[in-house]
Amino acid sequence: MGYKVVVAGATGNVGREMLNILAEREFPADEVVALASRRSLGTEVSYGDKTLKTKDIEGFDFTGYDIALFAIGSEPTKKYAPIAASQGCVVIDNSSLYRYDPAIPLVVPEVNPEAVEMYKNKNIIANPNCSTAQLVVALKPLHDRAKIKRVVVATYQSVSGAGKEGMDELWEQTKAVYNPTKDVPPKKFTKEIAFNVIPHIDVFLDDGSTKEEWKMVAETKKIVDPKIKLTATCVRVPVFVGHSEAVNIEFEEFLDEDEARDILREAPGVMVIDKRENGGYITPKECVGDYATFISRIRQDSTVENGINLWCVSDNLRKGAALNAVQIAETLGNRCLKKG
């Protein structure tokens, strides 16, 4: 007997990707229901070789369903997640709403799979921010070997992280560059994104950092180790899908770059592409549609006592969102629910 699964927000980028990944990974589901807002009622979405018609999330009865994957944003999640949880359905939430609640587990299955067992506290599990998810997959195996003291990360985040509107804005502005008669002013972003980079994601905080940067700090501490010091600069770049990160790591003890490379080659969810030659590294365009977090440019940092630099790239709609949510569902099933 398999699981009864709900995907809430099934018409959005992440919701559609959740349905794709459930089918691709042959998640043991006896029934999958696609939910959306009333204005999208009846919209058809793909689930493997099947087509599902979306149902209205308003008034939906979650009783009898095992797992609900939520990709609907914080405000609607605040309304519907407690309803689903109270009706016995475990919510795996992709929004930021529950990530910092100490009673709710924040899970990346390659890093802290045991944390799913905390789902019993509120019947809710949180999915981390996309930029954090790929980072901690790379950090954890290195931390286990040499204890990380400090991380300095600069992100290069694709416009799909801002949803369909972000992708549309990049597309329309790019076309407008070649057709100067049409002006496409920024709406989703604070400045023009086409042929530009914007060092600003989410709102500014009092200390001058942005909330996206704060999320990476708080989530890395919660998922990996509260003692890790992390500073981030998060930048939006004119790439449709795939987040990249330049990562500098300082350890408590020396870690040789060759050993670091070997550790990462063996780490779950990681693919190392690291040749010191033209093209011997991964770019965001090449990671689209892949499950892995790719690591390149692994090298010693001689400016600190125990430092390593690396380049980290992943499909943010997959590992950064939909894939991680499905992996949480798989981990929850294997460790706790034990059906299918």
Active-site residue set: 130, 243
Distance of CA 235 to the CA centre of its chain: 16
Spatial separation of the C-alpha atoms in residues 48 and 18, rounded to whole Å:
11
Spatial separation of the C-alpha atoms in residues 159 and 67, rounded to whole Å:
29
Q: Is 102 helix (H, G, I), strand (E, B) or coil?
A: coil
Q: Binding site for phosphate: which residues?
A: 99
Q: Binding site for substrate: which residues?
A: 157, 236
Nearest alpha carbon to residue 284 among 245, 324, 330, 332: 245
Spatial separation of the C-alpha atoms in residues 23 and 333, rounded to whole Å:
16
Spatial separation of the C-alpha atoms in residues 116 and 129, rounded to whole Å:
17
Per-residue burial over 100-126, b if 16 or more Cβ lie within 10 Å, else e, is eeeebbbbbbbbbbebbebbeebbbbb
**Three-state helix/strand/coil letters over 290-309:** CCCEEEEEEEEECCCCCEEE
Q: Binding site: which residues?
A: 11-14, 39-40, 99, 157, 160-161, 180, 236, 316
Nearest alpha carbon to residue 125 among 68, 74, 87: 68
Nearest alpha carbon to residue 97 among 60, 65, 58, 128: 128
Spatial separation of the C-alpha atoms in residues 248 and 222, rounded to whole Å:
20
Q: Binding site for NADP(+): which residues?
A: 11-14, 39-40, 160-161, 180, 316
Spatial separation of the C-alpha atoms in residues 189 and 318, rounded to whole Å:
22
